[in-house]
Structures are given as structure tokens and as C-alpha cells.
Amino acid sequence: MPRPTKCRKVCHFPQNLEFAPVDGSDQPPVVLTVDEYETIRLIDREGMSQEQCSEFMQIARTTVQRIYGSARKKLADVLVDGRPLRVAGGDFWLCDGQNTRCEHACFKRQLHQQYQKPKGEHVMRIAVTYENGQIFQHFGHTEQFKLYDVTDGKITSSEVVNTNGSGHGALAGVLGALHVDALICGGIGSGAQMALAAAGIDLYGGASGDADQAVEALLAGNLTYNPNVQCSHHEHAHGEGHTCGDHGCGSHTCGSH
């Protein structure tokens, strides 16, 4: 019986998920998994050795060698054959700052230490992309989240947190470090949605208006949002509004971390 696959730690979700040749090739895309992407980022971009990469991703060096070799072969196919590239799937979990091997300067680690949920208390934490009291409409460019702690269906505290300049790919990890259970936002791209799903964060996208009122509406079960929201660069499309009861956006095969 084969051994179960061990999930690989990934610092943040890729910001770009699809690449295509300029001639508009109709060949099927090469699919690079997120954990394969991470080995390329760490070894070829950050200059880590395979041993350092294995320690960072919390897997065996032989596993890193296999993943890295597969990733390099796929990139070679893309370059030589002129095929599109797509980043998707894999066995991974997003770092939320809990790992003691991360550098102390890691922003997510600092947030994790600061915003740990009190032990013995059931607290739901909701985040809203935030600007001047309103729901900020571009998830990947938000400079602030407003956090709301909820106990027994009532808001018990709220606080505005800066994102420290984190980009699209890192924001899901920031929310994970903040121990967020649900996100209310405006436009959000498919890559960020996948990252939130991997982090186990419920998504209520396509919302607008006053942030405080949106959270109250969510708790009352009548928040208007768009379950099919998309965002491309500075544009986002809003479809028909959806009134929520219970809504979740997927789960991650590696379980919770």
C-alpha cells in the first residue's frame, strides 16, 4: 500500500497562474503544481540549496529532488515546444506564520503571534477588505483588513490591520496568520480564490458598501454578495447578487494546518 503524500509548505500562492506564447498556441497547457512552483522559486529565484529547500518546505531532500526535477522538465517543455503554462493543484499547505523555522522578520509570523485566538474560547474571525469605512473593491491591492471577532453570533471586537504591502499571492497567507475564518471583499481573482480555499477561508466576494453593515448582514444571513465574482487587474465584474445563508468556498486536500 503506497504511503500517503506529505503536504509541502508553500510560503505564498503564485500571483500569476497562466502563461501563454505570443503566437496564441492552441496546444494543451503544461500544468505546474503549486509545490513544483515553490521549488523553482526557492532554488532558482531565492538561491537555496536543495537541502535548504527541503527544510523550508518540511519534506525530505529526495522529495525535493523529485519535485524540482519534474518542475524543470515541465518548464523545458514550455520553452522548447512553445506550450502554454498553467499553475494549479498539488499537495501543499500555505504557511500561516506558525512555523518556527520561518525567519523572525516574517510578517505572517509576527501576525500569527499577535492574533492567536484565545484558548478555550470559540471565536469566529471575519475579515473585510477595508478603506475609509467601506469594503475595498480590489482584494489584491487592499492595504488594510478590518477584523471582527464574533462570539455567539455577536461582534465582540474589531480592529483595522495593515497588510504591510503584501501582494496578491501573499494576502491569503496574511489572512491565515490572522486566523481569519471568512472574508468579505469586492472583486477578487481566481488565483486568490484558490489560495483562500487552500487556507480554509470562506469567501463572500462581490460585496460593497459599509464594512460594519456588511458583517452584521453576514451574521444575520442576508448579506448580498456574488458567489461567481471575478477580478482582473483593475477591473472586476459583478453578476447578480446572492443572499447568503451558509456558504463555503472549497476545502484543501491536505487538511487543516
Q: Any idea where the domains of the chain sit in the sequence?
A: 8-94, 107-243
Angstrom distance (rounded) from CA 150 to CA 161? 17
Report residue 156 CA to chain centroid gap.
Answer: 26
Q: Give kind and range of the element (H or E) at residue 31.
A: strand 30-32
- Say which range, 71-75, 91-95, 120-124, 188-192, has the weakest mean pLDDT: 120-124
Higher confidence at residue 24 or residue 29? 29
pLDDT at 93 over 90: no
Angstrom distance (rounded) from CA 213 to CA 195? 26
Find out whether 205 and 192 touch, Cβ atoms under 8 Å.
Answer: no
Q: 105 pLDDT band (50/70/90 cuts)?
A: very low
pLDDT tens figures, 206-252: 999 999 999 999 999 999 998 887 654 433 333 333 333 333 323 33
Four-residue CA torsion sign, 217, 149, 132, 235: negative
- Among residues 96, 156, 101, the alpha carbon closest in space to that of 123 is found at 156
Higher confidence at residue 160 or residue 26? 160
Burial class (CB in 10 A: 0-12, 13-18, 19+), 107: middle
Beta strand spans in 102-246 (E):
124-131, 134-135, 144-151, 154-162, 182-184, 202-204, 224-225, 230-232, 235-237, 242-243
* Angle (nearest 5°) at CA 213 between 173 and 244: 70
pLDDT at 108 over 70: no
Place of cell 501543499: 92
Place of cell 496546444: 27
The top-level CATH class assigned to 8-94 is mainly alpha
φ/ψ (deg, to 5) at 181: -100, -30
Angstrom distance (rounded) from CA 25 to CA 60? 37
φ/ψ (deg, to 5) at 233: 55, -115
Q: What CATH number labels 107-243? A: 3.30.420.130
pTM, 2 dp: 0.58
> What is the per-residue pLDDT for 76?
96
Find out whether 74 and 30 touch, Cβ atoms under 8 Å.
Answer: yes
Place of cell 506550450: 83
- As a whole number, the mean pLDDT across the chain is 79
